Amino acid sequence: MRIMLITTGLKVGGAEHQVAALARAFLALGHAVSILSLSPGREIDLPFEAHVVELNMSKTPAGMIRALWQARAQVKTWQPDVIHAHMVHANLFARVLTRIVPCPPLVCTAHSFREGGTIRMLAYRLTDRWTDLTTHVSIDGRKGMINAGGVPEERIVVMPNGIDANRFRPDSELRQATRKQLGISPDTWLVLNVGRLAPEKSQDLLIRGFAQLEPPMSTHLVIAGGGALHQTLMMQIAALGQASRITLLGQRDDIPALLNAADAFVLSSSIEGLPMVLVEALACGCPVVSTDAPGVAEVLSGQGTIVPRGDANALASALFLAAREGRGSPDQEATRRNHVVTAFSLDTVAQHWLKLYTGLTLRRALPH
């Protein structure tokens, strides 16, 4: 099968990493993959076998028309069997693309709980008939789009993201090496947060909650990720006198190592789609504390502690209890891992997508 993936961009982000992961999975299964990115620049690794085109679309009408004509040429030349768009801008772009060139079945995937406000939901609704199916990565997100009027209930299904279970797994040697590299002593309880330094990730709340874990507990918080709030969070850490206990690591590409080094993972977000970092944490056997952001309960399903969003005191209490319990036994690690690998392994998810693609292709071929 020839699969064309259209994405808003190829910068660091959960949806972008999922596009790359699906491309690798499809290629490994013997399928051909083309990736069209609307925006310029690439911060994630893509498989070299994939045919990659950056459309460099600007926000001007002329730039959008130019990008559509480039994409039109790619569809005519590459001749995909299915087109799969990811994220709101790429979804709407791909729908318009079907108006200017004959296209195979089109699938549009929404990754965020909030795909946008009234205007975007209106755009989704008005262009719904130009796509064969809309999917969302979480149950909460699907309900949100239906309630916002973006898509009819019968025209959207849930298809979760997947992870490479071989990359995210418990590794005791990696744990020791990474803790040594981070300068974390064996008796220090290390808690990890991974995410963009952005308002919706609420790391300011996490910092306030963690600061309540006072000595004699030997604790340390590391936050991996870059973003616009880096300086603001650094100032908050200094103001709270936590510079020796909280470290902003910046952007990292060794998340499996960090998850193994950690004694607990904490998610403080107010908004999520399907928080794959929780899947990755559990796959590494790491205990989890999280706010009740959309998609969290769906992932954890009892394998973690959930507290209300926006409540620093509740987050602090949950972290205190997690510190007392520690990382747990090998059996507990295995239980966490097995819980998510069955539902969220990349191989399983890729097979689900291929089955869906095939079904849509066959349906298109039937006489009307």
Note the pLDDT tens digit of each residue in 42-59: 888 899 999 999 998 988
- How many domains does the chain contain in total? 2
Q: Is residue 203 part of a domain?
A: yes
Interacting residues of 204 by C-beta distance below 8 A, sequence separation 6+: 229, 232, 233, 236
**Cβ neighbours of residue 145 closer than 8 Å, sequence gap 6 or more:** 110, 115, 121, 124, 134, 136, 151, 156
Note whether 256 and 237 are same-domain residues.
yes
Residues 336, 353, single domain; the answer is no
167 in any annotated domain: no
205 with 320, same domain: the answer is yes
> For residue 122, what are the domain limits?
2-162+345-365
- Tell me if 286 is assigned to some domain: yes
Say whether both 201 and 302 belong to one domain: yes
Residue 109 included in any domain: yes
* Chain mean pLDDT for the chain: 93
Pure H helices in 263-345: 276-283, 296-300, 312-325, 330-344
Same domain flag for 296 and 235: yes
Question: Residue 140's pLDDT band (boundaries 50, 70, 90)?
Answer: confident
Give residue-wise pLDDT tens across range 55-114: 989 889 999 999 999 999 999 999 999 999 999 999 999 999 999 999 999 999 998 877
Residue 264 bridge partners (DSSP): 191
Instruction: Return the DSSP state at 42.
Output: B
Q: Are residues 19 and 140 in the same domain?
A: yes
Peptide bond into 215 cis (omega under 30): no
Residue 357 and residue 105 in contact, taking contact as beta carbons nearer than 8 Å: yes
Structural domain includes residue 101: yes
Report yes or no on 330 lying in a domain.
yes
Q: Are residues 192 and 233 in the same domain?
A: yes
Within 13 Å of residue 246, how many CA atoms lie on the same side as its CB? 25
Pair (46, 141) in one structural domain: yes
Alpha-carbon span 287 to 318, nearest angstrom:
12
What does the block give as tokens for 227?
A: 């973003």
SS3 string of 54-102? ECCCCCCHHHHHHHHHHHHHHHHHHCCCEEEEECHHHHHHHHHHCCCCC
> Looking at the structure, do residues 285 and 350 belong to the same domain, yes or no?
no
Question: Does residue 368 surpass a pLDDT of 60?
Answer: no
Residue 205 sits in the same domain as residue 231: yes
Distance (Å, rounded) from C-alpha 202 to C-alpha 284? 24
Q: Is the pLDDT of residue 310 over 60?
A: yes
Same-domain check for residues 179 and 146:
no
CB atoms within 10 A of CB 117: 9
Q: What is the CATH number of the domain that holds 303?
A: 3.40.50.2000
Name the DSSP letter for residue 345. B
Domain presence at residue 226: yes
Whole-prediction pTM: 0.83
For 323, phi then psi, to 5°, come to -65, -35
Confirm whether 354 is domain-assigned.
yes
Q: Is 44 found in the same domain as 185?
A: no
